[in-house]
Amino acid sequence: MPVKSIKNAVGRLIPETINGKPVIPFQGVGKYKPTGRKFAPKIVTCADYPLDGNKLVPNLKEALIKAGIKDGMTISTHHHFRNGDLIAVEIFKIAQQLGIKDLVWYPSASFPCQEPIIEQLENGTIHHIEGSMNGALGRFTSQGKMKGVGVLRSHGGRYQAVQDGDVVIDIAVIAAPTADPFGNANGVEGPSACGLLGFALADSQYADKVIVVTDNLVDFPCIPWQIHGNYVDYVVQMGQIGIPEKIVSGTTQITKSPDRLLIAEMTAQFCDEAGLIKDGFSFQAGAGGTALSIGVFFGEIMRRKGIKARFARGGSNKYLVDILEEGLVEYILDGQTFDLDGVRSMRDNPRHVNTSPFTSYNYHGKGNFAGIVDIVILGATEVDVNFNANVVTHSDGYLLHGIGGWQNCLFGKNVILPIPLFRDRIPVIREEVTTICGPGELIDIIVTERGIAINPLRKDLIDKMKDSKLPIKTIHELKEEAERICGKPKAAEFEEKIIAAIKWVDGTVIDVVKQVKK
Amino acid sequence: MSNKAVAGNRGDDIRSDCYVELELTKNKGIQIDLQSKVKTLFGDSIIELCKKELKFFGLKNCIIKIEDTGALDYVLAARIEAAIKQLIDTDKEYLLDLLPQNKYKTKKDRYRRSRLYLPGNTPKLALNAGIHKPDGVILDLEDSVAPAKKFEAAILVRNALRSVDFYGTERMVRINQIPKGLDDLKYIVPHNVNLILVPKCESAEQIKLVNEKIDKILNKHNLSYNIFLMPIIESALGVIKAYEIATVAENVVALAIGLEDYTADLGTQRTKEGKETFLARCQIVNAAKAAGIQAIDSVFSDVSDMEALKQNVLESKSLGFDGMGCIHPRQIKVIHEFFAPNEKEIDKAKKIVNAFHIATEKGLGVVSLGSKMIDPPVVKRAQRTIEQAIDAGKLKKNWRNNYAG
């Protein structure tokens, strides 16, 4: 039966239902305003929990059975262990042994280490993923092999979906580097320390059943209690819940590529000339090599000018911690720690603050701090001449990345995408992006090694930079330059089948991804 | 001749390149097997290019296998041509259009502070070289190319000269040592190369040979333009002959020194202090200046140590060198910054140039500063210092607007 489609506010055709549920097409930034009340979990009573606070059960399987795992449930996990996670794969192996079918996996992000889950996707244990589909999982999904339609959300959108009841989590499994038998848990101590557990906050608050899994059980109280035991049903002690060296991935090194360093240098110079780097400013620089280098260049500029930043938004790592300790920034507001220096600093330094998607990103709240950040550095796989950007698919149509906090960060005051003009002959600036993840009105500056384009909506910036020596060009000029060098690429071809939906921060659907042509 | 040939590069680190295997067959027509990481977007255009080129060389029956890692057309075309020319004997060349922006000429006395070496057979490094704004790029056919790859590198460099936009930087090629290097000239001379580096130069005769060959090629192609030469002195004999080499022809615009080979020739080790090369460096500077041309220092090879590079640049400058080679784009900025004049030099130049402007405005023929007369060459040098200071961002273009004197 053909599904009816509606054109959304960025001109993409969105089906009326996805996975059998009605969807709301994207209506424009700030346009969709839901009414009603938030989702409320069930009332529980202490009478049903051990009075001595001991919620230990012998193993994960028993915990899942006690939690009532059954067909069609939604199981959530978090990604603070990044590519060192051992728990998600374990959960679905157990589900398969128990003969459970059609689960929905609701991770805050997926990583290459979770590739084995393809087995459970193939044999029907899992119906679909709502989270991110990276690498091999993305390839599998793009080939149309997943039973249901994947749903991708931003970190803030994930909190929003749980809070609003768009997604009802039946069982949350929270891998915790340290926990006590009552279920209090944190990420700063223990052999699998990952810094914080902010991505699991919504899960703990709203899931029907919450299981905490740890390889470092301590006596009550587990302090700091980033996750409150008051939300937790069961605690499981295991030998190992993550691979420490992969939790801190080591991919977060400053780039050595001269071309990327040039982009980073141009970005920092742009911010300086545009007057964005001033006493008390704030910035966010991600974990990519280019973004890290920009942070280092910012540090140099601050030192030269003798000024300080009020706060920096993490993902934190050594480089950010260094400038915090040097006193160049007053606070790190951190969403995830990328290396051991980040973990140590968060544990020991009260100015290194752990945050959750609720405080930083949730769009259905009374504000969030993403909008307070002065300079936001983000990436993209593609940007089009209207400044719309894509972070989930490649130009060949394959879904390979998640959204992360990217959409949420677009609300920062000056959003900058430092990206190469082309990658391996593939132009990054396109007539139209393959998948729209963020509307162009929120993206201010594109910095490439061959020129910088300022969004025409930002007349203030255009004016400030009119005498700059930096190569300021129009986005069309950049696109033409890329095509002059690379040739004009053909567009990717797709089948009719929709394999994933891209949610906007308010729960509406901004785009869909189709199966790549066989 | 064999009926199978390969060209190009493959492997984990290879990008923006391709590897071509070509096999001539008797009667099966043309079979193209393309593996490419950009196949969805550029597969059709790659196959079209391949067919056109095979047709151009008259191949009707062959199996061609291309493993592509995002090569641009000029790279694909060069690799295919290199494979074909191992199997058939032809003088034909498959040339893509010369980019209009590559038709520029350079001046004899332009800046040559930095010249970035690019291994001639490594396309990924050439593509973005110009954006780092060195004064010159060197497409190298000599030491950075393995002997077995010399042939395909020459074709690739030829195509790069036509198709890669180096954004106004001086386009140089280092040929192989003479006499072998003479064979390289036909690949570069007709394609608007700005300057040719002649390595291990030991006699004026070698420069004459190069110039004769250049003239012959230009004549053959009905072209007439200046191609500058920069001999590289890399031996004890070369150092002795430096002045003869510098003065043998009008188009010799600079003398460069190569210290690795020079120290090997002396039978000693190259040290950080550089005592063993002090004489040679001074000799090169002296010979060059006596000939009225530029003196260019050797490369500094520790790409991670910017502080040591800075010291090296300051010493080069103090000896009288005008520039040096670099092997990594990040070195360019340091080289430009420290070859640029320092505060003291700028202050002095400002006084002189200011006096010159005042004299011109007043219509005076003589420039004077206080009680001193200033000679024209001194004014010229001061103007150049000012230019360099502006270029290095150490002085505003309109500095005279609020110059108190």
Amino acid at residue number A276: L
Task: Mark A350-373 as b/e (b = at least 16 C-beta within 10 Å).
Answer: eebebbbbbbbbbbbeeebbbebb
Would an 8 Å CB–CB cutoff place A514 in contact with chain B?
no
Q: Of A307, A270, A314, A259, which is closest to residue A80 (Cα–Cα)?
A: A314
Give the pLDDT confidence of A335-345 residue by residue, as tens digits.
Answer: 988 888 999 99
Q: Which residues 151-180 of B are in CB contact (within 8 Å) with A?
A: 165
A490:B128 CB<8 A: no
pLDDT value at residue A252:
61
Position A331 pLDDT exceeds 80 = yes
CB A180 within 8 A of CB A337: no
Would an 8 Å CB–CB cutoff place A492 in contact with chain B?
yes
Across residues A464-469, what is the average pLDDT? 95
pLDDT value at residue B273:
85
pLDDT value at residue A250:
52
pLDDT value at residue A357:
94
Tokens 């199997």, located at residue: B87
Radius of gyration of chain B (CA): 24
pLDDT value at residue A232:
98
- Percent of chain A clearing pLDDT 90 (strictly above): 92
Beta bridge partners of B21: B6, B65
pLDDT value at residue A361:
96
pLDDT value at residue A251:
54
- A314 or B241: which leads in pLDDT: B241
Tokens 């206080």, located at residue: B370
Determine which helix (DSSP H) or strand (DSSP E) holds B44, and give its type and residue range: helix B39-56
B44:A493 CB<8 A: no
Kindly list the domain boundaries of chain B, sorted by start residue: 4-87, 102-339, 343-402
Would an 8 Å CB–CB cutoff place A446 in contact with chain B?
no
CB A494 within 8 A of CB A515: yes
**Alpha-carbon span B115 to B105, nearest angstrom:** 16
A490:B40 CB<8 A: yes
**Alpha-carbon span A114 to B65, nearest angstrom:** 35
A493:B40 CB<8 A: yes
pLDDT value at residue A60:
98
Give the pLDDT confidence of A238-258 residue by residue, as tens digits.
Answer: 999 999 888 875 556 777 889
CB A428 within 8 A of CB A382: yes
Selecting from A397, A487, A492 the residue whose C-beta is nearest the C-beta of B73 gives A487
pLDDT value at residue B405:
65
Position A45 pLDDT exceeds 70 = yes
Give the pLDDT confidence of A122-179 residue by residue, as tens digits.
Answer: 999 999 999 999 989 999 999 999 999 999 999 999 999 999 999 999 999 999 999 9
**Alpha-carbon span B323 to B288, nearest angstrom:** 13
Residue B94, both tokens: 């498959």
Q: Which CATH number fits domain B102-339: 3.10.105.10, 3.20.20.60, 3.30.70.1450, 3.40.50.2300?
A: 3.20.20.60
**Alpha-carbon span B385 to B391, nearest angstrom:** 10
Distance from CA of B376 to the nearest CA of A (A): 32
A424:B37 CB<8 A: yes
Residue B263, both tokens: 């120290």
Ranges of residues in chain B with a pLDDT under 50 are none
Longest dimension (CA), chain A: 72
- Best residue in A424, A452, A480, A518 to probe B by mutation, most B CBs within 10 Å? A424
Position A1 pLDDT exceeds 60 = no
Average pLDDT, chain A: 95
Selecting from A258, A490, A492 the residue whose C-beta is nearest the C-beta of B44 gives A490
Give the pLDDT confidence of A385-416 residue by residue, as tens digits.
Answer: 999 999 999 999 999 999 999 999 999 999 99
Pure H helices in B171-327: 185-188, 204-220, 236-240, 242-247, 259-266, 275-290, 306-319
pLDDT value at residue B364:
81
Sequence-separated (6 or more) residues with CB below 8 Å from residue A356:
A159, A198, A199, A201, A202, A335
> Which domains, from first to last, does chain A contain?
50-247 (3.40.1080.10), 258-492 (3.40.1080.10)
Would an 8 Å CB–CB cutoff place A296 in contact with chain B?
no
Beta bridge partners of B115: B136, B325
Radius of gyration of chain A (CA): 23
Position A121 pLDDT exceeds 90 = yes
Q: Of A250, A423, A469, which is closest to residue A341 (Cα–Cα)?
A: A250
Domain B4-87 grouped into CATH 2.30.30: no
| HEC sequence for A4-57 | CEEECCCCCEEECEECCEECCECCCCCCCCCCCCCCCCCCCCHHHCCCCCCCEE
